[in-house]
Structure 1
C-alpha cells in the first residue's frame, strides 16, 4: 500500500504512517528476542517503569549487563529521539521496514514514534485486526470519529470479522491452563487478597466445568453438539459466575503473563486429573450453587449433528494455553443471539465459539466514521456487503453507494471458457461424488493445455487431497514443462514460486505448470502477470463441506434472520468468491493477456455465471474441450501478433 501511495500524484506530499505491533517494530534485542508478542508487550511495559536506562554503544546496540543485574529502562525510549523519528516519518512516506531502519539509526523506538506520528498523518495504515478488533483499536488509540475508513482487499471482510471474534480451545489446552493456575495458586496462595483468591477459584471452577462437559463419555465419540451461549454455560454448570468480572480480573492482574513466567520456571504436569479432595471441593461448591437455583440442562442443546471428523493426533498445547482460555472466556460474554458454541468430541476434542453476526462488531466503525469504503477486485456478490455488513451494522440505505469500474485490460486480451465436456465427450463434472473417477479426463485435458500454452499455467484444485490424487495420476505423463506444487508448509512458498518463475524465464523455456489449491496460499495476494500466468485453470467448484456443523449453523441462522434461501445463497457465495480470487491472479496490467478455463459444466448455470466478475462474464464462452483448444490456439496466435 505504501508503494501505491508513492505512485500516486499525491505521494510526495502525503503524510502516511504505518502502525504495527511491538513484535514488528521493537528494535531492543533484549525484548524482540522473546518472539511471543504477549511477552514482548509485557517486557516493554515493565521496562518503562524502570528508573535507569540500559546503556548502548555507538552503533545503538544494548551493552551486556553484568550477570544478575536487572534490566533497566529501554534505551530507545528517549523522548527527544522518538520525536526526531516521528518527524522523519511525517516528512517521507515510510513502511514498517523503513521506520525500523531509521529507528536503529536514531536510537529511537519505532513503535512509539509511529503512534505519535499517526496523530498528524493524512493516512494511517493498519492491519485488519488493529482496525476491526475493538480492544486492539482502543489500546493503540486509533480514532474513528470524523475520519474516513478504507478497507482494501475487502472481499473477505465478513469472514475476517467472524474469525477474529470466534475462538476455540482444545481439551488439552484447558487441562494445561487448569494445571498451571492450580500450581500458581498453591505456591502463592498466602500472597493473594481475599478478592483475588476468590476470582482465581472461580476461574478454576469455570475451566473445570468446561473440561467436565468435554470429557463426558458419550455413546458416539464423533458427535458434535451445537449450543447457544446460554445453553452452554448451563450445561457446563458455570452459569452462576460473572464472566465480565472474571475477564476484567484477568486483564487487570495480567495473570496470563504471570502464569507464562511461572510455568517457564516451574514445569507443570498439566493433564493430571484432580485428586479426591479437589473433586470433593468442587462437588461441595456445586451443591451450594445448586441450592440457590436448580437448573437442568436436558433441553439446552439446540441441535446435535453426527459428523465424521478426520482422525488426527491430539492437539499439542503450545504457547500460553491460558491466553486461549481468555479468548474463549471473552466469547462467553457475547450476545446470545449472535453466536453458537460447538463442542467437538472424538480425536479432536475441543470447544469452539462461532460468531454468526459479524456486523455486530462493525457497528461502532459505521457509526463513528465519516465514511467507510470497502474496496477490492472481486467484491461480488455486492448484496453481501450491503445487507449483511452495512445495513446489519445500522447504516441507512441513503448512506450506501455502490461503485464499480471495468477492468483495465481490453476485452480481447482475455479468453474465459466454460468447458462442459472432455476430449472423449465425457461430462466435465468434478463434484465430490464424481471427481475421483475423472482421472483420465483431467490427464488428457492438462496434457492438451500444456502443449497449447507457452508460458505459465496455474491450475487450481478444490482441495489438497484432490491435488495430491491428480498429481499421482500424472506420474506417467510427460508435459514438456516442469510441474511445481503448492507446499502445505508456508515457509516453502517463496522457494517454490522462485523456482516456478525461473523455469519460465530461462532461455528457450516452454513454460511451467503450478498446481495450487483454491483458498490456499497461492489463491490470494499473489500476482501471476505476463508469462507467469498465461493460463489459469480452475478444476471444479470448491464448495465447502455442507455437513460441517459450523456451516450448517451459519446457514440456519441466515435463513432465520434474512429469509428462506439466504443460507444457500451464502453457501454459493463462499464458493464463487474463492473462484473469483483464483481468476484474478492473472492479467495484472493493461497490456497483459491470459486464458481462463473453468472445468465443470456447472459453471454454465445462470446463477453461477452471474457470480463471476463482469470483465469475465462479458467475454465468457461455453464449449466442449476440443473447441476450446482451437479457441486457445487462435487467441494466443492473435496475441503473439499484437505484441510483436
Structure 2
C-alpha cells in the first residue's frame, strides 16, 4: 500500500531546514509508528535518510512517552465514592513520584556529562595524568595441561527437550548456575524491575561502522523532553537522548585471556568456561557483574546512557570501570530510548536471548534493508566442504585415540554417533554425487542413510554438540598437541628450526557440522540441501554440501509479531513486491505502508539514458547467449571511447560478472583484424587496440575478485584528483557496487552494461523459483476457495474464483518477477553509487535494449525513472552524444 494522503506537518526538530521529501519521509515514519504498521521506505543515498529516520522516529517516541505519562495519571472513570479533591491529590502525588525518579536519573547523567567534559578538556590540554589504565589481568599465557580437554560427564536430563525453552546453547543446570552468578538472561533482574520498560527503538544496520555513522548523526539532534518538570517548560526543555549500543562478546570482552582468541565461538565458549563452578577462583573472570560489584554496574549504566557511545567507546568504558561491558550493558537496556545493534544480534533469536532483550511492544528500524532477506538466509544457511568433513573425522579420531578410556557413558555414545554422522556425509559426497552434474538437490534421507545414521536422534545429538562444548575441546587439544610437539622438536633441533603449527581456523569444523545438523532439523519446506562442485573442476575435496533457506518470512515473522511497528529503510528498496509477497505474505495490504522518495537534486542534475545501439548501429543485447559476440563487444568499446571524450573526470562501468570483465578486456586488448589482403605490418599492434585507445583517454582501473578494492579505489581517486580522469571497470554486486561513494568527480558517468540476471540453471535458483511457484499456488488456491464460498446476506458478491490454470499462470509470473527483482535490485544498488548529495550531478547510461521493456523499466527507482530521457532506447548513438554534451557543457 503506497501512502496517498498528505502527511500531517509537524515539527520534527530537524537540525537543518528539511527538504520536502525529508518532510514526507519523516511524516511517513511517524505515521507508521503511530499506527503500528510495517513500513517499507526508500530514500536515495544523499537525501539525508538517516537524519530523517532519527527525527521522525524519535519525535514520535517522545510524543508517545508524553502521552503514556499523562495516561498513567488518568485513573479512568471515577467509579469510587472518594471526593474529587482526594483523587486530585492522589494524581498529584503519583506525578511527583514519577517525576522524582526521572529527575534523579537526569541529575546523575548530567553530573557524568560534566565530569566527562572536564576530563576531555584536560586531555586536549595535554594533562600528563592520563595514562593507559591496566585492567588488572595478567596477559601471560595460561598454563595448560591435557586434563582441561577431557569432556565432562554428560547428563542430558530430559533428552526430549528439557531445560528452558529457547535456551539453545546451555543446559538447565548451566542456566541455573548462570542465574545464581548473576549472568543469565535475568541477571540484574531485581534492579531492572524498578525501571519501567518504556517503548524504545531498536535501530539495526549491517555493520558496526555503519552504526557508528548513525550515532554521529544522533549527535546532531536536540529534542524537547517527553516530561518536563513543570507545564511551562513542556515542549521547550531539551533532554539528551539515552542511547545504548549493543554488541557481541567479540566486540566487548575486556578479559585478555578471552578476547585474544580468534573466533566468536571460541570467545563465547571460553567466557562460559570461566564462569563454571568448577573453575578456580583465580581463573574466573574478575570483570563479571555480581552482587558485590553492583555499584560498578550502576556506574557503567549511567556512563553508557550519559553520552552517545559507539561500540569501541563501550569497550573502553568497561576497561575504565573494570566491569564487563557485555554483561553490564544489560542494566542500561530498560532506561534506554534507542538501541543500536548489527543485523545478527537482532535477527537471531539465540542472540536476542543471550543479550536479554525483548522486542515486545517496541519499534524496530532496519536500515540498509535492501539485503535483509539475503541476510536472514545467510544467518540460517550453512556450507560444509568434503575437506572440512574429513578434517573433522580425523580430528575426532586423534581425540578418541587419546581420551577413549576416559570417556564414560553418554559421552562415548554421542561421540561415536558424531563419527557415524560425519562418515555418512563423507560417504555421500564421495560416492553418491552424479559425476556429470555441477550441482544439484540433496535428499536429507539419502544423506544420512549410511552407517545406520537414520536411527540416530538428531535433536538429541545436536543438543549434545551444543552443550558438551566438544568442538572447542577437540580443537583445543589438537592445538595443544601441535604446540607441544613443536616445542619438543625445537628444543632438540639446534641447526634446523621446525615449522610452526598453523593457526586454528576462525571456527572449529565441528561447529559447521552442528550448524548443518541444525538445518536438517528444520521443516523441509523452509529450505533445501544442495551439493556443488568447484567450477572449473579442481580438487575433489572442495565439493560442498550447502543448506539454503528458501523462506525468510517464517524467521522474521516472530520479530514482526512482537514489535509494535517495523520500518525497513534503504536507498534502493525498489522493487517493493519482493517484501510484500515474500517477506510479509501473511500481512494484509492495509498493514503495509510503502514510500519511494525522489532525490534532493534538481532535475537538471541528472540525465538517464537507455542505450540500445552503438556508434555503427550494432544493437546491444548482453544476454548470456550473445556474450561471445566480438562485434558487439568492440561496439561497446567504441561507445566508451566516445563517452570518455565528452565526460570529464571519472567514468564507472558496471558489468554483470568478473568473468565478463575478463573476456571483454581480453577482446579489447586484441589487435584489430585488417580487411586488407596486404595489411600494413604496423597496423595490427597493441597500440592500435581498443583498450590502448581507451587508456589514452583515461587511465583504466579494474576491480579484481580475489583482491581488495581499497588499493584500486585509492589509485582511481588519485587519478581523478590529479586531473587525469579515470575509467573504472567494476561488477554489479561486487565490492564497489555497495557502500562505495562515487560522489562528484569520482562518478560523473555511470554505465550499466547488460542485465545481471543470476544463473537460472543452478540448482539453488531452480529450487528457489520452484518454491515460490508452489507457495503462490497454495496461497492463491486457499484464497480462491474462500471466494467461492457462499456470501453472507450482508456482504457484497465475492470475486470470481481463479481457475487452476489461472493460478498456475499467476504463480509462474510471481516467480519470474522475483527473478527479475533480484537482477534489478543489484542494478539499482550500482546506480545509486553516483549521486550522493544535493549539489552532485551525473549521467547514468543503461547499455542494453532490454531496458526498453516496461517490466524492467518499472523496476527502476522513481528518481531514475524521472530522469530517464523519453524514447532514448529508440534513438541513435549520436543522440546520446548530443545529450551528454548539452548536459556537461558549462559545468565546473
Out of 865, 871, 879, which is 1:627 matched to? 879
Offset, 1:75: 5.2
- The one of 301, 316, 341 equivalent to 2:529 is 341
Give the total of aligned pairs. 573
Q: Name which of 412, 430, 443 aligns with 2:622.
A: 430
SS in 1 for 2:388: helix
Which of 372, 376, 383 is the aligned partner of 2:566? Answer: 372
Deviations 1:461-503 (A, max 9, x none): 111112223334254223433222224346x323332332232
> Where in structure 2 are the equivalents of 1:207-226 lying within 5 Å?
207-216=422-431, 220-226=435-441
Instruction: State the shift of 1:417 in Å.
Output: 0.6
Choose 206-215 or 259-268, whichever is displaced more: 259-268
TM-aligned CA deviation for residue 430 of structure 1: 1.6
Deviations 1:413-464 (Å, cap 9, x if unpaired)?
Answer: 1111110000111101222222342331122122222221112221111111
Indicate how the Cα distance of structure 1 residues 8 and 484 shifts in structure 2: closer, same or farther if over 3 A, else same. farther
Does structure 2 retain, via aligned residues, the 8 Å contact 1:213–1:236?
Answer: no
Q: Distance in 1 between matches of 2:273 and 2:519?
A: 29
- Equivalent residues of 1:447, 1:479 under 8 A apart: no
Task: Select the residue among 490, 500, 513 that pairs with 1:325.
Answer: 513
Match of 2:662 in 1: 468
Q: Give yes or no for the alignment of 1:554 onto 2:742.
A: no
Select which of 488, 492, 500 maps to 2:705.
488
- Alignment match, 1:23: 250
Q: Which residue of 2 aligns with 1:449?
A: 643
Q: Give the Cα–Cα distance (whole angstroms) in 2 for the partners of residues 578 and 632 of structure 1.
A: 25
How far, CA to CA, are the matches of 1:513 and 1:89 in structure 2? 47
Higher relative contact order (CA 8 A, sep 6+): 2
Tell me, in whole angstroms, the C-alpha distance in 2 between the residues paired with 1:221 and 1:71. 56
Q: Which runs of 5+ in 2 are unaligned?
A: 1-213, 224-237, 484-503, 670-690, 777-810
The equivalent position to 2:827 in structure 1, one of 579, 582, 586, is 579
Contact 2:373 2:583 in 1 (8 A): yes
Quote the Cα distance in structure 2 between the aligned partners of 1:511 and 1:414.
20
Structure 1 counterpart SS, 2:835: coil
Instruction: Tell me how far apart the structure 1 counterparts of residues 549 and 821 of structure 2 sit (CA, whole Å).
Output: 18
1:307 is matched with: none
Q: 1:428 & 1:638 partners in 2: Cα distance?
A: 31
1:203 aligns with 2:395: no
For residue 286 of structure 1, what is the aligned residue in structure 2? none
Q: Are the counterparts in 1 of residues 572 and 829 from structure 2 also a CA contact under 8 Å?
A: yes
Question: What is the CA-CA distance between 1:82 and the residue it aligns to?
Answer: 4.6
- Give the direction of change, closer, same or farther, for the CA distance of 1:24–1:318 in structure 2 (3 Å limit): closer
- 1:421 is paired with a residue whose SS is coil
TM-score, normalised via structure 2 length:
0.61
Q: Which residue of 1 aligns with 2:241?
A: 14
Runs of 4+ with >6 A deviation: 50-54
Given that 2:263 and 2:506 are in contact with CA atoms closer than 8 Å, whether structure 1 keeps it comes out as: no
Identify which range, 124-133 or 6-15, moves more after superposition: 6-15
Quick one: structure 1 residues 14 and 378, their matched pair in 2 at CA, closer, same or farther if it must change by over 3 Å? same
The whole-number CA distance in structure 2 between the counterparts of 1:152 and 1:219 is 43
Whole-Å Cα distance in 2 between the matches of residues 342 and 203 of structure 1?
21
Shift of 1:239: 2.6
Counterpart position of 2:274:
47
Structure 1's 159 and 73: CA in aligned 2 closer, same or farther, altered over 3 A? closer
Alpha carbons of structure 1 residues 50 and 335: separation in structure 2 relative to 1, 3 Å: closer
Consecutive unaligned residues in structure 1, runs of 5 or more: 55-69, 269-315
Between 1:493-502 and 1:235-244, the stretch displaced more is 235-244
1:87-131 per-residue CA deviation (whole Å, 9 max, x = no partner) reads: 222111111123234444444433334333233221111111111
Whether 1:524 aligns to 2:738 is yes
**Per-residue Cα deviation, 1:294-340 (whole angstroms, up to 9, x for no partner):** xxxxxxxxxxxxxxxxxxxxxx9874211110110110011011111
Corresponding residue of 2:285: 73
Q: Distance in 1 between matches of 2:220 and 2:422?
A: 53
Alpha-carbon distance in 1 for matches of 2:712, 2:249: 31
Task: Encode CA deviations 1:327-384: one digit per residue, 9 max, x unaligned.
Answer: 1011001101111111335744221112111111112111111111111111122111
The corresponding residue for 1:295 is none
Check the 8 A contact 2:428/2:447 in 1, yes or no.
no
Distance 1:403 1:178 in 2: 53
Cα distance, 1:560 vs. partner?
A: 1.4
CA contact (8 A) 2:600 2:838 kept: yes
Shift of the 109–446 alpha-carbon distance from structure 1 to 2, 3 Å rule, reads: farther
Q: Which position in structure 1 is the counterpart of 2:545? A: 351
- Larger mean CA deviation between 131-140 and 586-595 belongs to 131-140
Q: Give the CA deviation at 1:52.
A: 10
